[in-house]
Amino acid sequence: MGALYEKLRQDIRFVEGLTACLNCGTCTAICPAAEFYNYQPRKLVDILQTKDDEKIEELLKSDTIWYCGECMSCVTRCPRNNAPGLLITALRSLSQEMGYFVESEKGRQQLAIKRTVGHWILEYGYCLYPSQILPENHPEQGPVWEWEFQHIEKVMDRLGANYKKAGPGVLRAIPREDLDEIKKIFDETGATARFDKIESFSKLKAEEMGIQLDDSLQNDYIKHIYTTVNKDHTNET
Amino acid sequence: MKVEGKRKIWDEYQKEIAGDDYFYVRSCVRQNFFPGAEKTFLRYMKEMGKNVFENPSHTTCSGIGYHSDIVPFETAMTMVARQFALMTESGYRNFVTSCITSFGLYTEILETWHHFPAIEEKIRVHLKNATGREFVKPDNLAHASDVTFKLRKEISKAGKYRLVNQHTGAPIRVVEHIGCHYSRMFPSKGVGGAEYPYVLVGMIEEWGGEVIDYPERRHCCGFGFRQYLIRANRGYSVSASKKKFDSMKPYKPELILTNCPGCPMFLDRWQYAISEMEGTTYGENGGGIPVMTYEELAGLILGYAPWDLGLQVHQVPVEPLLDKIGIPYDPEKKFLDKDGNSMGQPKSPSHLKFY
């Protein structure tokens, strides 16, 4: 049993998620990610059961751990009460802690999520915020969202929201003191430290790859990780 | 009567849902995409004489950040602890969430604390250090769809409309789609469990509709958090929804009913995207299958005006369903602002029929 396996064992989700896998493959059969990506939760659990640090490091540096959608369908169906979806959350945490996430195309995407969702939580108090859901980044949202985006304050007003205003209601302005509490929680509980790691390891990787990265959302590295698919990740069967 | 099959399973998975005095927390996704749904929930709760309180200091639970793995578990637990502290300070004990991701996260956290009290104690210290707050855990945790399920008979009784085709007398054929995090991890926390959730079925049956069973009924809509948030990954998301549409199409559904924030948005928008990508539409006469939240449907049953519910911000038009049920609407008012002024209107898609 190696150091990485020991680190995983410190995560309660890993402890709870891995009992004894009998390799039946039920998780893979039900998994939406396995249907789309070259991914098998059964194999992932099998690797973890070996407790082999070399294999675990390979996993932490791979695209494999980033394919899961965390729908948790596997949790319902496993006959041995394993939870591959929970194991994924522990693996992704450790991959970011160790800086291994930048070694895979899918892992590198974490910086874009940190700079959008992560930023919005601290800036607005919401995981998503309408002024930031740009139609050019979301063509699938269609003409209705494009129209809504153009008239967002009036549409929100029409539908009874309290957009950017004080008091309760939909998309209310969350008071500064409450946003400050979120920041303090992030500082106290490790989110700020994780954000810093995502930033620092990404900067090193961008330098290594020779792709421009600054502190904004508009730079070559963010564009690259947000849009690029350099290899076939899909399940061809 | 002998209770068997799904009815037996439903009998086994009944959960306790508080009857009044709810502390309500909102959903990030729904506030952005279906703001009228939450407004409608509060409207019918008030009309049913229920007390629902919202503390404006509540924030995101950080669930999307947690499930896209940028937010550590300890942070998410402390964010949730803060929401419980606001509930405690406001004098409430019954916690109701608008969001399914939140509901799943709250459930996961309460279960974690139940089995590992030392973790709960650690989070109490974190919360105190960061905010000075303390909390009592809720007596009752429910999703807003649970509460609506509990009120389904009262809604039906007070209702102006039934889920029935006024021209043929046939029940409206409805596909129900349950958010994955409602009960997949903890089946006992959802009405009807995980394999045969009853929470939406109960509403559809009570309001006169017919529930359609189809092969991919339990397949995820494809949100997948990072699988949608990152543009390069969206093939995962659309393919999951497409799998569901292809599977349900032969059963000719007239409505998709959902209880999750993301699902109605994806099942609505991906119908548009698929129609643009390959010209395929899934509804009748070149249209799509209307997608609704349970609050929007409850609002229609109760006779609320469609454009007050926010049905104009759906990409798949709902008018064919309104026509079938016999719900009046004024097409001229669809895209007007609060003062009755025009806001223009969205462009028509290339294939998907638009009104």
Provide the greatest CA pair distance for chain A. 60
Q: How far from chain centre, in Å, is Cα B140?
A: 19
With a cut of 80, say whether residue B4 has pLDDT above it. no
Distance CA B94, CA B103 (A): 13
User: What's the total number of domains in chain A?
Assistant: 2
Output the pLDDT for position A152. 97
Q: Would A76 be classed as within a structural domain?
A: yes
Residues A56 and A118 reside in one and the same domain: no
Note the pLDDT tens digit of each residue in A16-57.
999 989 999 999 999 999 999 999 999 999 999 999 999 999
Residue A235 within a domain: no
Taking residues B130-149, what's their average pLDDT?
98
Compute and round to an integer the Cα radius of gyration of chain B.
20
Residue B19: give its domain's CATH number. Answer: 1.20.1050.140
B290 and B264 within one domain:
yes
B295-304: per-residue pLDDT in tens? 999 999 999 9
Residue A179 lies in a domain: yes
Domain range for A28 is 3-99
**Of A99, A123, A140, which residue is a domain's last?**
A99
Q: How far apart are CA A149 and CA A175, in angstroms?
A: 24
* A126 shares a domain with A213: yes
pLDDT at residue number A237: 58
User: Percent of chain B scored above 70 by pLDDT?
Assistant: 97
Per-residue confidence at B14, pLDDT binned at 50, 70, 90?
A: confident
| Same domain flag for B324 and B205 | yes
* Cβ contacts of A117 on chain B, cutoff 8 Å: 64-65, 68, 70, 229
- Give me the total of CB pairs closer than 8 Å, taking one residue from chain A and one from chain B: 263
Kind plus residue range of the DSSP H or E element containing B224: none
CA B213/CA B244 separation, integer angstroms: 12
| CATH number of the domain to which A76 belongs | 1.10.1060.10
Domain boundary, last residue among A99, A129, A163: A99
- Are residue A87 and residue A46 in the same domain, yes or no? yes
B23: Cα separation from own chain's centroid: 18
Residues A127 and A194 in one domain: yes
A142 with A75, same domain: the answer is no
Residues A209 and A167 in one domain: yes
The model's pLDDT over B188-227, given as tens digits with 9 standing for 90+, comes to: 999 999 988 999 999 999 999 999 999 999 999 999 999 9
Identify the burial level of A132 via C-beta atoms within 10 angstroms of its C-beta, where 0-12 means exposed, 13-18 middle and 19 or more buried.
Answer: middle
CATH number at residue B154: 3.40.50.11810
* In contact, B355 and B311? CB cutoff 8 Å: no
Which segments in chain A show pLDDT lower than 50?
none
Could you read off the pLDDT of B315-354 as tens digits, one per residue?
999 999 999 999 999 999 999 999 999 999 999 999 999 8
**Does A11 share its domain with A95?**
yes
Same domain, B166 and B140: no
Given A80, A99, A118, the domain boundary residue is A99
- Average pLDDT (B268-280) is 97
Residues B155 and B82 in one domain: no
Number of compact structural domains in chain B: 2
Residues of B in contact with A226 (CB under 8 A): 230-232
Collect all residues of chain A within an 8 Å Cβ-Cβ radius of residue B226.
Answer: 66, 69, 109, 113
Q: Does A165 touch chain B (CB under 8 A)?
A: no
What confidence score (pLDDT) does residue A236 get? 73
Q: Is A38 domain-assigned? A: yes
Query: Is B58 inside a domain boundary?
Result: yes
Residues B168 and B289 reside in one and the same domain: yes
- Give the pLDDT score at B2: 61
Please enumerate in sequence order all residues whose Cβ is within 8 A of that of B352, keeping only pairs 6 or more positions apart, or say none. B271, B272, B275, B276, B281, B286, B287, B288, B315, B316
Edge to edge, the sheet with strand B94-97 lists B52-53, B22-25, B94-97, B140-143
**Backbone φ, ψ for residue B217 (5° rounding):** -55, -35
Q: What is the structure's pLDDT at A108?
A: 98
Please write the tens of the pLDDT for every residue from B35-74.
999 999 999 999 999 999 999 999 999 999 999 999 999 9
Q: Is residue A236 a part of any domain in this protein?
A: no
CB contact under 8 A, A171 and B225: no
**How much is the mean pLDDT over chain B?**
96
Domain range enclosing B234: 145-333
pLDDT at residue B3, rounded to an integer: 65
